[in-house]
Amino acid sequence: MTVTLFIPCFVDALYPRAGISMVEILERLGHTVVCPEEIACCGQPPFNSGYHAEARAIATPVLEKLADAEAVVIGSGSCGAMVKNFYPELFKATRHAELAKQVAARTWEFSDFLVSKLGVTDLGAKFPHKVTFHDGCHGLRELGIHKQPRALLANVRELELVEMTEVSCCGFGGTFAAKFPMISTAMGEVKCASAAETGAEYIVSSDSSCLMHIQGLLSRQGKPTKTISLAEVLNHQ
Amino acid sequence: MSTFVSDFKTRATEKAGDLRHRQVIRTALRGYEIVRDKRKAAFQSWESARQAAAETKWEAVNHLDKHLEALTAKLEARGTKVHWASTGEQAREIIAQILRDKKARCIIKSKSMTSEEIHLNHALEKEGFTVVESDLGEFIVQLRHEPPYHLVFPSMHLTRGEIKDLFQKELGDAPSDAPEELTMVARRVMRQKYITADVGFTGANFAIAETGMISITENEGNARLTAALPKTMVTLIGIEKVLPRFADLALFLPMLATAGAGQPMTCYNTMYSGPRQPGECDGPEEWHVVLLDNRRTELLADAEQRDALHCIRCGACLNVCPIFRNVGGHTYGTTYSGPVGAVITPHLRGLQEWKHLSNASSLCGACTEACPVKIDLHHHLLQNRRNASASEPAFFERLAYQIFGIVANEPAFWSLAKKLGWLTQPLQKAVKGSALDPARAWTKTRDLPAQPRESFKDWWRNRK
């Protein structure tokens, strides 16, 4: 299969290892990976702030580039939800309405693609650490992804998964983190405390944006817990 | 910036960093999700129950005119006086006039968020009436001259120790901080008030169109006494509380208790169908029901967000909301706080003045998942943002997105932006968290990740 990989803007700039791991995993599974260089962002920041015209200005070329893709795989639940759930709304009653629906139907979040589309749960990875998994809220509630990353982690050699008792948002929320920094920080602190309770060395997530927020707090507060993307864990030998 | 926004930001910043407050609320809600989930499991299918409840409310709200007329006809047939109030001001005047006519001095009240919405106590006290809240939590916040902190748990922000001190100061009696003993103190005070009150005032959880009944749910029995002892009873109810059929209560009563407090059923569920009838030995001689619109019909006119009128005020969305849990109920500055408050307040009180509540969300969706009547809460927050930005765009914010769009759409610009980001890292470190730092909102409490020299796209290009 030819997989069109959509690497979100912050993964491209800040967490290339996550994207590289996705490419390597998909290629190891025998698929052809293409990655349109013109695509940088899905348009979620303006969309979530209510600026639909500005969001469409970013999303329209994205949609056109993805028009012929066999399968679109996005390395983030949040951006995945944007393309899968919100593009049809954003392009409603525009000339791209039909295309938005078609692309949405062919779009997958990375862990969902591996498990639900390809039927793969064992990637032969080894990661000898105790980890906990953070569900990004968009992946969890917009896309309903919960079992998929856990099915993948269950087959990672020497990995011990300990769940957090509290399922809560990390407090990132895109521009929310900058518009209401103290609320966002308080939410992040609650998240970090839940993760610390598990005794995990690593917090793993499908969403690098959540990890950026969590790691930002952990580093500032001098906490030893580390963060790593799911793709990197799955690509670890 | 309007005072509503700046007040919200100031209070939110203060409360979010208040570790004691955070602990008190976490303690108060500890176990809520566990007992709630246990009660949910007692339903044959909680998801089907939610769907059925949403459909019933959809039917109720979409034929509101018909149901309200049926309700009124039935209530009037049994001698109840029904009043229609378009605004809070009208409702206050109707109620005050009833009290004047009755030459009342003291009013005993059971819990009613709708009366908070129209600031009834304040208006009545200004006219010289004595108003006593009889719900224990409401009684406590009334003693503190505070509005309720939470739709269902008005004093959840207070510890027993604080309540003991309050009772000692205001009532001169607080033997210990044991909840039972404190309840007995409140009970002694209130029993006197029930006897002397001229008018009993209640809110309502549901109104049944089919039978002309008002349904009141409570745990303390205070609403029953409020409705039973005084000669005159007044009930204030928002028009969206109507349900088509009596049988609908079979779903809504356990659902309200489960979603709101993790109870199988609230302790007392009473249906009122009229004042004392000939031959009956108790109950009020007169019953007035005030039906309040107060801009609910404007929400009704909004096809996209009409389902917000489904709300049964269970408080489930507040309980699970990470924003509410960190900033607390008073920070909102509104009667209805939490996610549902953020959704409806812009409709009830003005979008531009209250849009900040819709922005103060990470859009995590925990509220929508928790809502028993399936209000699409967090998507409504997005719609409020869209409506607010469309009618009054913020100049610099829009400009920033326009510039971001140009950069994101042109690979050469995007590469350049990444290069600049990488090159200026030493500078970013030097100003980190200071007034000179453009990313200060982030860096004041959080580190930024180190940006690698080679981006994903650099790697991809080099590899090819």
Name the nearest CA neighbour of B290 among B149, B89, B106. B89
Are the Cβ atoms of A52 and B390 closer than 8 angstroms? yes
In chain A the first and final C-alpha atoms are separated, in Å, by 25
CB B372 within 8 A of CB B252: no
Identify whether A95 is part of a domain: yes
Tell the CATH superfamily of the B298-391 domain. Alpha-helical ferredoxin (1.10.1060.10)
Domain positions in chain B are 50-294, 298-391, 408-463
Which ipTM was obtained for this model? Answer: 0.96
* pTM for the full predicted model: 0.96
Q: Quick one: closest CA in B to A167, which residue? A: B366
Q: Residues A58, A156: one domain?
A: no
CA distances from B297 to A180, B57, B236, B292 (A): 32, 15, 17, 10
CATH topology identical between B50-294 and B298-391: no
pLDDT band at A219, cuts 50/70/90?
Answer: very high
Q: Which amino acid is at B455?
A: S
Please state, in angstroms and rounded to a whole number, the distance separating the CA atoms of residues A186 and B406: 34
Q: Residues A155, A109: one domain?
A: no
Q: Residues A84, A169: one domain?
A: no
Identify whether A123 is part of a domain: no
Q: For A199-212, what is each residue's pLDDT tens digit?
A: 999 999 999 999 99
CATH code for the domain defined by B50-294? 3.40.50.10420
Q: In which residue are the tokens 């007034």 written?
A: B435
- Residues from chain A that touch B418, judged by Cβ atoms under 8 A, are 12-13
A&B contacts, CB < 8 Å: 184
> What tokens appear for B387 in the block?
């409506």
The pLDDT value recorded for residue B1 is 60
Q: Smallest CA–CA separation between B222 and chain A, in Å? A: 35
Q: Residues A106, A159: one domain?
A: no
Q: Residues A104, A139: one domain?
A: no
Q: Residues A79, A169: one domain?
A: no
**How many separate domains does chain A show?**
2
Nearest by CB to residue B402, choosing from A52, A54, A185, is A54
Please state, in angstroms and rounded to a whole number, the distance separating the CA atoms of residues B377 and A140: 16
CB B395 within 8 A of CB B387: no
Please state the rounded mean pLDDT for residues A120-131.
98
The pLDDT value recorded for residue B432 is 87
Nearest by CB to residue B385, choosing from A14, A23, A50, is A50
Q: In which residue are the tokens 């959509």 written?
A: A6
Identify whether A197 is part of a domain: yes
- Residues from chain A that touch B455, judged by Cβ atoms under 8 A, are 12-13, 16
* Residue B48 host element (H or E): helix B46-62
- Residue from A17, A180, A214 whose CB has the most chain B CBs within 10 Å, to mutate: A180
Q: Which amino acid is at B18?
A: D
Q: In which residue are the tokens 């996005």 written?
A: A74
Q: Residues A134, A211: one domain?
A: yes
Please state, in angstroms and rounded to a whole number, the distance separating the CA atoms of residues B80 and B268: 23
CB B98 within 8 A of CB B288: yes
Count Cα neighbours of A72 within 13 Å in the Cβ-side half-sphere: 30
Q: Smallest CA–CA separation between B225 and chain A, in Å? A: 40
Query: Sign of torsion, CA B241 B246 B247 B251?
Result: positive
The pLDDT value recorded for residue B82 is 98
Tens of pLDDT along chain B (464 residues) come to: 678 999 999 999 999 999 999 999 998 898 898 899 999 999 999 999 999 999 999 999 999 999 999 999 999 999 999 999 999 999 999 999 999 999 999 999 999 999 999 999 999 999 999 999 999 999 999 999 999 999 999 999 999 999 999 999 999 988 899 999 999 999 999 999 999 999 999 999 999 999 999 999 999 999 999 999 999 999 999 999 999 999 999 999 999 999 999 999 999 999 999 999 999 988 999 999 999 999 999 999 999 999 999 999 999 999 999 999 999 999 999 999 999 999 999 999 999 999 999 999 999 999 999 999 999 999 999 999 999 999 999 999 999 999 999 999 999 999 999 999 999 999 988 898 888 898 999 999 999 999 999 999 999 999 87
Please state, in angstroms and rounded to a whole number, the distance separating the CA atoms of residues B113 and A134: 37
- Residue from B27, B428, B445, B448 whose CB has the most chain A CBs within 10 Å, to mutate: B445
Spatial strand order of the sheet with A160-161 comes to A160-161, A130-134, A202-205, A226-229
Q: What are B268's strand-pairing partners?
A: B218
Residue A62: domain span: 2-117
Please state, in angstroms and rounded to a whole number, the distance separating the CA atoms of residues B322 and B339: 10
Residue that is last in its domain, among A96, A117, A138: A117
Identify whether A122 is part of a domain: no
Identify whether A230 is part of a domain: yes
Identify whether A125 is part of a domain: no
Q: Residues A81, A159: one domain?
A: no
Q: Residues A109, A168: one domain?
A: no
Beta strands B268-272 and B213-218 are: antiparallel
DSSP category for residue B450: P
Residue that is last in its domain, among A65, A84, A117: A117
- Residue B433, Cα to own-chain centre: how many angstroms? 36
Q: Residues A103, A152: one domain?
A: no
Nearest by CB to residue B365, choosing from A41, A137, A176, is A137
- Residue from B401, B403, B443 whose CB has the most chain A CBs within 10 Å, to mutate: B401
DSSP category for residue A126: B
> What tokens appear for A100 in the block?
């938005």
Please state, in angstroms and rounded to a whole number, the distance separating the CA atoms of residues B209 and B197: 30
Ramachandran category for residue B43: left, alpha or beta (phi over 0 → left; psi -120 to 50 → alpha): beta
Name the nearest CA neighbour of A225 among A207, A206, A198. A198
CB A42 within 8 A of CB A62: yes
SS3 of residue B232 by DSSP: strand
SS3 of residue A85 by DSSP: helix
Phi first, then psi: give them for residue A203, nearest 5 degrees.
-100, 120
Please state, in angstroms and rounded to a whole number, the distance separating the CA atoms of residues B68 and B212: 9
Are the Cβ atoms of B456 and A173 closer than 8 angstroms? no
CB B166 within 8 A of CB B155: no
CB B200 within 8 A of CB B250: no
Identify whether A124 is part of a domain: no
Q: Residues A54, A139: one domain?
A: no
Q: Residues A179, A82: one domain?
A: no
Are the Cβ atoms of A169 and B12 closer than 8 angstroms? no
- What is the CATH classification number for the domain harbouring A75? 3.40.50
Residue that is last in its domain, among A117, A148, A163: A117
Please state, in angstroms and rounded to a whole number, the distance separating the CA atoms of residues B66 and B62: 9
CB B163 within 8 A of CB B182: yes
Instruction: List all residues 6 or more positions away from A97 whose beta carbon is below 8 Å from its beta carbon.
Output: A88, A91
Q: Smallest CA–CA separation between B317 and chain A, in Å? A: 13
Please state, in angstroms and rounded to a whole number, the distance separating the CA atoms of residues A113 and A77: 11
Are the Cβ atoms of B445 and A181 closer than 8 angstroms? yes
Name the nearest CA neighbour of B313 among B385, B383, B245, B241. B241
CB B235 within 8 A of CB B219: no
